[in-house]
Amino acid sequence: MAIYHLSIKIISRGKGKSAVAASAYRSGEKIKNEYDGIVHDFTRKGGIAHTEILLPQNAPQEFLDRGTLWNSVEKIEKSKNSQLAREIEIALPKELNREKQIELVREYVKENFVKVGMCADIALHDKNDRNPHAHILLTMRPLNEDTTWGAKSKKEYILDENGEKVKLKNGNYKTKKINIVDWNEQEKAEEWRKAWADITNKYLEENNIQEKVDHRSYQRQGIEQIPTIHLGVSATQMEKKGIDTDRGNINREIRKQNRLLQEIKLRIKALLNWIRGIGKEEKAETENIKSALPSKENLLSVFENLIRKNADNHNTDLEQYIESYQFLKENNIISVSELKENIVTLRDKNYKTTRAIKDTEKQIDDRVQLIDHAEKYLKHKDTYKAYIKLKKNKQDIFYNEHTAEIILFESAKKYLKEHLGESKSLTISKWKSEVTALKKEKDSLYSQIIDLRKEVEQAESVRSCIEKLQQENREITQVKKQELDL
């Protein structure tokens, strides 16, 4: 099944990152960063399926060497907190072969980034773990026509109501920053996300693959579905080998719940369509044959008559008639319009409960993510401390030996900083207690869904009985018409 994933992040010097290091790691190459003198050697890194650099027309050809390209970026950016590169990570459709995957990424990058003046450094990764993906490193600064780097922004004077420059107390004039290009605008992210979905779907269709991807969230698509959680590399590999994991079990349970929610939604929709059909039939009279429901103003009376009529001859439908009668009586339904109201209530209840399950599942996932990142943070904290205490010339050797631990620590630290808010404490035991309570709440909501399905089944039973009665009345009316004709 084709999946959609596209994430965008900025590689910033202010966060201790390097464009040279990022490129070396993603491409599996050895590159020296001339800005700080550190050599980044990732030639032993596996899983790199393809790399290439794409350049706009006004870029110097020596930029086809990634070491030259990213050292040029590092050199032009003077500030300690400079934004060095933009990285876009995308999941590749497994349904396409390697050649088509490369063509897909190449076309996407050319049309959306290179065409507007960005240099792009592409690396396709595939460790045969059913998670092929691509990293796209993009330059942040436009190029001038003479192939030199241009400015990211310019200053513009702020004018008063008379069109005069506004002077500050320090003697300078008030200005505002104007970006030269719109690459950092929030709308661009949505544009790039949609473009990836569109071009992926085009390639899938061209290769006779029915699957489609959508860049929108389930909520934006109008899909009442609980999102599955991200497995991660280790869990994916274990699941591939047939070993069940906690995350895999969670996703299996979520898929099971989604199937039930979708089933109930479709059954309620069918019931509402049927009710609307009855309304149309009641208005239609053809050749004096009425297909209206007899005694439609009192369904209870209809079912009472059916039960009495079939009680003596032990009709196989008797039990169904009795159950339907009890359902109507318990819900105070005596007319078709009230039956419709009941089904609409079931629909609204299903929607509300589904939303509550989704919200609860999200809260569970948020807590689980906090627990997971907090545990990684604590596990690799000492390794990271040892790393930052080293001198620059020794850090690279240490980094190559402890790459995974350092990356996991930095990732966990970043996540916790973004999601803990004002609270800086790692209350893991509290989060685990909250997960337990939320799971109980979700189980309760799921029980409500099971009960709701039973109500839907009862409404379907009423429909079945009414359809049998309608068919019987049509047959009787048809016989009477034939007798009159004779």
**How confident is the model at residue 230, as a pLDDT?**
61
Is the distance from CB of 91 to CB of 101 less than 8 angstroms? no
Q: CA dihedral defined by 293, 296, 300, 303, rounded to 10 degrees?
A: -20
Residue 109 token pair: 């990058």
Decide if pLDDT at 479 tops 80: no
Total length of the chain: 486
Among 52-56, 346-350, 356-360, 408-412, name the most confident range. 52-56
Q: What angle do CA 62, 64, 66 make, to 5 degrees?
A: 100
Please give the structure tokens belonging to residue 462.
């009423």
What is the rounded average pLDDT of the residues 65-70? 96
Picking from 374, 438, 439, the residue whose alpha carbon sits closest to that of residue 411 is 374
**What is the enclosing helix (H) or strand (E) of 404?**
helix 403-419
Mean of pLDDT values over 10-14 = 89
Q: What is the mean pLDDT of the chain?
A: 82
Which position has the higher pLDDT, 349 or 60? 60
Classify residue 166 by its DSSP letter.
P
Structural domains of the chain ordered from first start: 6-144+186-215 (3.30.930.30), 276-485 (1.10.287)
User: In the predicted model, is pLDDT for residue 63 greater than 90?
Assistant: yes
**pLDDT for position 326:** 84
pLDDT at position 118 over 80 = yes
Tell me the pLDDT band of 464, cut-offs 50, 70 and 90. confident
Least reliable range by pLDDT among 23-27, 169-173, 446-450: 169-173
Could you tell me the pTM of the whole model? 0.52
User: Among 84, 68, 95, 192, which residue's Cα sits nearest to residue 138?
Assistant: 84
Which residue from 353, 480, 378 is spatially nearest to 429, judged by alpha carbons?
A: 378
Q: What values do phi and psi take at 153, rounded to 5?
A: -150, 170
Q: Which of 117-131, 330-344, 412-426 has maximum average pLDDT?
A: 117-131
* Residue 178 · residue 155 · CB < 8 Å: yes
What secondary structure letter does DSSP report for 35? T
Q: How far separated are the first and last CA of the chain, in Å rounded?
A: 63
Res 29: pLDDT:
94
pLDDT digits (tens, 9 = 90+) for 79-95: 888 899 999 999 899 88
Residue 16 to residues 12, 83, 167, 184, Cα–Cα distance (Å): 7, 11, 37, 21
| Single-letter code of the amino acid located at 150 | G
**Angstrom distances, CA of residue 454 to CA of 61, 323, 340, 345:** 69, 12, 17, 14
- pLDDT exceeding 90 applies to what percent of the chain? 30
With a cut of 60, say whether residue 99 has pLDDT above it. Answer: yes
Percent of the chain with pLDDT over 70: 85
pLDDT of residue 418: 82
Q: What is the pLDDT of residues 190-216, one digit of tens each?
A: 899 999 999 999 999 898 887 788 766
What pLDDT score was predicted for residue 295? Answer: 41
What stretches of 238-321 adopt beta strand conformation (E)? 285-286, 289-290
**Coil, helix or strand for 157?**
strand
Helix (H, G, I), strand (E, B) or coil at 163: coil
What is the spatial distance between Cα 248 and Cα 235, in angstroms, rounded to a whole number?
A: 7
Query: Tens digit of pLDDT for each residue in 249-299?
Result: 777 877 777 788 888 888 888 888 888 776 555 544 433 334 445 444 577
Higher local confidence (pLDDT), 246 or 189: 189
Q: What's the pLDDT score for residue 215?
A: 62
Higher pLDDT, 445 or 168: 445
**Helical pair 392-401 and 403-419, crossing angle rounded to 10 deg:** 100
pLDDT at 67: 95
Confidence of residue 234 (pLDDT cuts 50, 70, 90): low
Say how far apart CA 304 and CA 321 lie, in whole Å: 9
